[in-house]
Amino acid sequence: MTVFVAPELLAVQPEPIRFFNRYTGAMETEEVYGEPFMRWTYGTRMGTLALHGLAKRALFSQWYGWRMNRAISSRRVAPFIQKYGLNASEFLEHPEVFKSFNEFFYRKLKPHARPVDPDPIAVVFPADGRHLGFADASKVEGIFVKGQAFDLKTLIQDEKLTAQFEKGSIVMSRLCPVDYHRFHFPVAGTPGKPQLINGPLFSVSPIALRQNIRFLFENRRARTVIETKEHGRVLMFEIGATNVGSIEFTFVPDQPVQKGAEKGYFKFGGSSMITLFEPGRITLSDDLLQHTRSHVELYARIGDRMAVWK
């Protein structure tokens, strides 16, 4: 297959996406799925026209989701596993069982593949991915580009909740297409019904966020309030993005859940989650804070510790 690369991209060596892997203890370079198209879309004049005319719109993602639901798309599964080195022994079902690429994409894992930290004071990551953590949500700026600030009010779309979480802790979790795409509860508690906040569907890859961080807090998203017995409220967002067919929830609102219980899944496409805690409730993990201060994402998996209750 021939991949078109715009001439203006050939003249500039693209900046790689680097992250720190908690398990290998080393800096690693992300292999971006569909990178030539991503860099053309978010790095060229023609790409920008295509982005605003088509790619950010729900219809485009719905069309792509339809393609990934077709039986013929199952041919992509084995090459994808091989190319990105996925551990198929973790899958609940054998790769040959999946009837489409989307079925493979939101696959389940064996229970032991993602053990949940049993310590009662532990708060766990809600998804496999690359994470950034800030002790004060009102001071999030320069994450991907110097001078760009994070707008919590726009993200939350509720004045009372914004005031409640404004100076609390925030964790941003970015999922790539190669990741396990089910997401889970970071704490035990009682979650309410997810509230849909409409918006566009820009990519949330660093390639796009280096152009405009507003994509992260203006995209279509779902907001869930979790009531905990001893630690107040926790706020969770699932954020849609280009080629995310939809966000599906598998929990029952207003029913208690255990820490690490499944909350739902993303259909095809990389996406993000944001978790917010009230001020003074948690202490984020040292490695998460350390790498965030250096503007480096930390790779960690669902169920592993991201904070402790105070």
pLDDT digits (tens, 9 = 90+) for 153-211: 999 999 999 999 999 999 999 998 889 999 999 999 999 999 999 888 777 767 677 77
Instruction: Tell me what the pLDDT averaged over the chain comes to.
Output: 84
Q: Contact 303/309 with Cβ under 8 angstroms?
A: no
188 within 8 A of 234, measured Cβ to Cβ: no
- Asked whether residue 300 is domain-assigned, the answer is yes
Higher pLDDT, 139 or 213: 139
Residue 49 has pLDDT above 80, yes or no: no
The CA distance from 34 to 233, in Å, is 38
Q: Which domain holds residue 166?
A: 116-309
Question: In this predicted structure, what is the pLDDT of residue 245?
Answer: 52
Q: Which of 48-57, 204-213, 271-280, 290-299 has the lowest mean pLDDT?
A: 48-57
Question: With contact defined as beta carbons under 8 Å apart, do 19 and 205 qualify?
Answer: no
CB atoms within 10 A of CB 138: 15
Q: What is the pLDDT of residue 117?
A: 98
- Reported residue count of the chain is 310
pLDDT of residue 267: 83
Determine, yes or no, domain membership for 7: no
Lowest mean pLDDT among 73-82, 84-93, 98-107, 200-209: 200-209
Answer whether residue 62 shows pLDDT above 90: no
> What pLDDT score was predicted for residue 50?
45
Do the domain assignments include residue 206?
A: yes
Considering its fold, how many domains does the chain have in total? 1
- The catalytic residues are 128, 184, 271
8-state DSSP, 149: B
| Reported pTM | 0.85
Instruction: Give dist(CA 296, CA 292) in Å, integer.
Output: 5
Domain membership of residue 222 (yes or no) is yes
- Residue 227 CA to residue 208 CA, distance in Å, equals 34
CA dihedral 298, 303, 305, 310 (to 10 degrees): 130
The percentage of residues in the chain with a pLDDT greater than 70, rounded to a whole number, is 80
Residue type, 13: Q
**Residue 150 belongs to some domain of the structure:** yes
Mean pLDDT of 77-105: 93
215-232: average pLDDT: 91
The answer as to whether 263 is a domain residue is: yes
171/130 Cα distance (integer angstroms):
10
Which tens digit of pLDDT belongs to each residue from 23-33?
Answer: 999 999 987 65
pLDDT of residue 4: 39
Domain for residue 68, yes or no?
Answer: no
pLDDT band at 240 (very low <50, low <70, confident <90, very high): confident
- Contact in structure between 215 and 209 (CB atoms under 8 Å): yes
Flag whether 43 is in a domain. no
